[in-house]
Amino acid sequence: MDMRRRGLLAALALPAVARAQGEWPQRAVKVVIPFAPGGSSDIAARLVQARLSAVLGQNILIENRGGAGGNIAAESVARAAPDGYTLFQGNIGILCVNPTLYRSLPVDMERDFTPVSHLMSVFYVLVAPLDRPWSSVAELAAAARARPETLAAGNSGVGSMGHLGSVLFDHLAGVKTVPVPYRGGGPLANDVLAGKIDFSFSTVPTVLPLIEAGRIKALAVATAARSRLLPGVPTVAEAGLPGFEVPNWDGWLAPRGTPPAVVARLNAAMRQVLAEPDVAAEFAKRGMEPMGGTPEALGAEISQRIAQFAPIVRATGATPD
């Protein structure tokens, strides 16, 4: 082959080589989770971690960064380079309750992020230590009325749906309990087990093993209908507080300005992994449902839920304190 032909072939190959070198991802991708290890968000991320790594061809790294109701982690990702290598796993509480709960936030949950995909949905269960005298919603409400502002209501962080659950319980039952925030569902579950708090609304993946082992009490589930995982446990609405329901889901987001091609690639990979039957089975065993869906669907739900929860948060008078 003469030098001229070799030069022509090399020139034709350059665009393909450049594209290959510029394809995302070229290195590990970090996902920042705003809770301590052991909670439902952490569990869900680790269920997809290895599969996503295989699909994308790069390691998925998980960083647990709790504090300030998830706002520290959210800000760290919002301020990161919009190159697809730093992502945020936020839940409905952080993304949709915090904007009303906090008077000022370091980030705008709608403006400063690019939605990628829903990850999973999960439900809450009202639990209490074995040594507490209440075993039903009615008994817990009676105890709270008899001892106003003394019962400790644990939650996985200020602004979490567990926090909102205890606020709604107070509001609908006409009682006043004391919110006790933790840095995640794992540490919270440990203190329910140890009897250091009086009750909590906890995600089922975090506390299901303790409930099944008979080490803590399940008083009610915070869903519209009973759960197949806890069929003998009534809903909070059935147990005396009509209309009570606490939804929850997690989603992945990237900093605003992340290239659409990167978002599309990550979204496609997430949907592929979540559709795998064995992955879905692992989620189901832990009381979670894989979601997936489009970036647009996640963005629309964030906006919708912010509008939905704003009047509820204001009406209950909930604060970060």
113 and 258 belong to one structural domain:
yes
180 and 204 belong to one structural domain:
yes
Report the number of distinct structural domains present in the chain. Answer: 2
Does 14 or 229 have the greater pLDDT score?
A: 229
Contact (CB, 8 A) for 213 and 169? no
Give the start-end residues of each E strand in 123-228.
124-129, 152-155, 178-181, 199-203, 216-221
Q: Is residue 35, in this structure, part of any structural domain at all? A: yes
Q: Is residue 18, in this structure, part of any structural domain at all? A: no
Q: State how far the Cα of 92 lies from the Cα of 112, in Å rounded to an integer.
A: 16
Beta carbons within 10 angstroms of residue 154's beta carbon:
26
Q: Is residue 130, in this structure, part of any structural domain at all? A: yes
Domain containing residue 73: 26-121+248-316
56 and 117 belong to one structural domain:
yes
Contact (CB, 8 A) for 140 and 134? yes
116 and 31 belong to one structural domain:
yes
Q: Each residue of 1-53: pLDDT tens digit?
A: 454 444 444 444 434 333 434 699 999 999 999 999 999 999 999 999 999 99
Q: Each residue of 239-272: pLDDT tens digit?
A: 999 989 898 999 999 999 999 999 999 999 999 9
**Phi-psi domain of 2 (left: phi exceeds 0; alpha: psi -120 through 50; beta: other):** beta
How do the residues of the chain divide into helix, strand and coil, expressed in percent and rounded to 5? 45, 20, 35
The pair phi, psi for residue 289, each rounded to 5°, is -125, 120
Percent of the chain scored above 70 by pLDDT? 93
Residues ≥6 apart with Cβ < 8 Å to 57: 25
Q: Which H or E run contains 98?
A: helix 98-101
Give the start-end residues of each E strand in the chain.
29-33, 60-64, 86-91, 113-122, 124-129, 152-155, 178-181, 199-203, 216-221, 249-255, 288-292
- pTM > 0.85: yes or no: no
Q: Is residue 235, in this structure, part of any structural domain at all? A: no
Residue 70's pLDDT is what?
92
Q: Which of 221, 239, 261 is the last residue of a domain?
A: 221
Residues 156-169, mean pLDDT to the nearest whole number: 88
